Structure 1
């Protein structure tokens, strides 16, 4: 039986293990054949403070035209960083077309963290773009900051109650996504991932222990582990737990790395997944 194929639509970073270069080795290791469609070419991770970026919208338009002509398709599509409203409209239209053919759509609405958008991102345009992407999603997984921007709800640095977390999830569902996760959210004082599984109609809350070290790309690692297990038939709750445990282990193994801005050197540690 042929393994299910996935398309990653995300930026391609030349120096640093983030976005596509973080997701590709993990999905390949988990046995998921993977194609890529870069939304931009980035010189290095944003954490270095200076970078060069080339948006690839014209390439995307040409690639999608070719794929339509040849009737190329994927079992799933995973979207990540999208640098402009125009590009988001193109990608959302493509995802909507493919969803109509039975393709599963995963959306990571990458925008910011710790209550703030990432530097250089225009709030109004970015939020509208990501809402457009979520409207076509089978599963989206913003962090707490992104969920607040997407739903228009207030960010509270002290975290939320379970009921407030459910309100945030319901706000995401009202935009269009079927299932939803909110990562890196304190629920009743406990760092957690809060989720809703559309196939069961159930909310769930999975606590975790934080390691006080920052690496870029951990969200992409979470995404790849989550998707890989989902595509291999695991439940949403179990796949989420696998992704959380994988990220924790990888951070713990690399917490003393001298250059954390480069991300986690995944190829050395794939066996822990």
Structure 2
């Protein structure tokens, strides 16, 4: 069975990060090997939460994994808490990433044109360095702009979908040229028609955009679920396009069910009953 080191936090409530990645990868026939970066009583959008950073514990995992010569077919990183954690991820890559290991970086850095307070100066440059090591990158529009130092404001001024997608494609190609990775820009809501949400794939030969109906809700953990399906699909030998279509179908069904229960967005989506779609 193929193995993925999943470098993410563990939140008890919110259905995100490790609690999203582990079941998705498992049902797709991939062993998820969690490396918890922090533990939380609930994800950080909750009004209050307990939080403990585990950065100092990460080298202990590397030491123990090294003792029994652990190998990984994939490494998958998400939200990081600071510069020291990115440095620890570089140590992980130096020890365990081989030419056969697929690295997926989900660079959780901001949204709606705003960077999280953490991402400025040296922290931003370190994340840019990390994505240059990646095989697959799954930023949203804001994160793509931060990684390429391009203007989010300029993108937001486009009024027509075709012009907007063309400009976004150019941004994605800048990132692809810089990193040589396969790039998926996620959560794209076209300016002229906000009833849809889509994803844009760019590599050195292909561009692919697909969109689905959008209910206007921003549920916790959907990005983590999407990236986890992509990771599982790649390790099953499927193409990025196949992985995107599968992830979109899976999430559409989960979101539809969640809306029927009127579940608060902060609680995440009812994905569990739809895991069979990933078999």
Q: Would you say same fold, with TM above 0.5?
A: yes
Which residue in the other structure is 1:123 paired with?
Answer: 120
Which residue in the other structure is 1:110 paired with?
Answer: 108
Partner of residue 78 from structure 2, selected from 61, 77, 80 = 80
Q: CA contact under 8 A between 1:211 and 1:248: conserved in structure 2?
A: no
Distance 1:16 1:187 in 2: 27
User: Do structure 1's residue 161 and structure 2's residue 164 form an aligned pair?
Assistant: yes
Partner of residue 141 from structure 1, selected from 118, 138, 141 = 138
Q: 3-state SS of the aligned residue for 2:213?
A: coil
Judged with a 3 Å threshold, the aligned counterparts in structure 2 of structure 1 residues 43 and 175 are, in CA distance, closer, same or farther, namely farther
Distance 2:175 2:34 in 1: 26
Partner of residue 244 from structure 1, selected from 245, 248, 255 = 248
Partner of residue 96 from structure 2, selected from 95, 98, 107 = 98
Partner of residue 13 from structure 1, selected from 3, 11, 16 = 11
**TM-aligned CA deviation for residue 172 of structure 1:** 1.7
Distance 1:93 1:189 in 2: 44
Q: 3-state SS of the aligned residue for 1:5?
A: strand
Give the gaps of 5 or more residues in structure 1.
none
Which residue in the other structure is 1:214 paired with?
Answer: 218
Q: CA contact under 8 A between 2:250 and 2:274: conserved in structure 1?
A: no
Q: CA contact under 8 A between 2:199 and 2:211: conserved in structure 1?
A: yes
Higher mean alpha-carbon deviation, 224-233 vs 172-181, is at: 172-181
Q: 3-state SS of the aligned residue for 1:33?
A: strand
Q: CA contact under 8 A between 1:134 and 1:175: conserved in structure 2?
A: no
Distance 2:129 2:38 in 1: 19
Q: CA contact under 8 A between 1:134 and 1:177: conserved in structure 2?
A: no
Judged with a 3 Å threshold, the aligned counterparts in structure 2 of structure 1 residues 148 and 162 are, in CA distance, closer, same or farther, namely same
User: Do structure 1's residue 35 and structure 2's residue 40 form an aligned pair?
Assistant: no
Q: CA contact under 8 A between 2:106 and 2:137: conserved in structure 1?
A: yes
Which residue in the other structure is 1:132 paired with?
Answer: 129
Higher mean alpha-carbon deviation, 221-230 vs 121-130, is at: 121-130
User: Do structure 1's residue 260 and structure 2's residue 265 form an aligned pair?
Assistant: yes
Distance 2:141 2:37 in 1: 24
Higher mean alpha-carbon deviation, 135-144 vs 96-105, is at: 96-105
Q: CA contact under 8 A between 2:73 and 2:235: conserved in structure 1?
A: no
TM-score relative to the length of structure 2: 0.87
| Superposed CA RMSD | 2.1
Partner of residue 20 from structure 2, selected from 1, 19, 22 = 22
User: Do structure 1's residue 65 and structure 2's residue 63 form an aligned pair?
Assistant: yes
Per-residue CA distance 1:205-228 (angstroms, 9 max, x = gap): 222221211211000011111211
**TM-aligned CA deviation for residue 101 of structure 1:** 4.2
Distance 1:185 1:52 in 2: 32
Per-residue CA distance 1:89-110 (angstroms, 9 max, x = gap): 2202322443334211011001
Per-residue CA distance 1:70-124 (angstroms, 9 max, x = gap): 2111111111111111110220232244333421101100122222234x53433
User: Do structure 1's residue 49 and structure 2's residue 47 form an aligned pair?
Assistant: yes
Distance 2:19 2:99 in 1: 28
Higher mean alpha-carbon deviation, 170-179 vs 240-249, is at: 170-179
Aligned residue pairs total 268
User: Do structure 1's residue 194 and structure 2's residue 200 form an aligned pair?
Assistant: yes
TM-score relative to the length of structure 1: 0.89
**TM-aligned CA deviation for residue 248 of structure 1:** 1.7
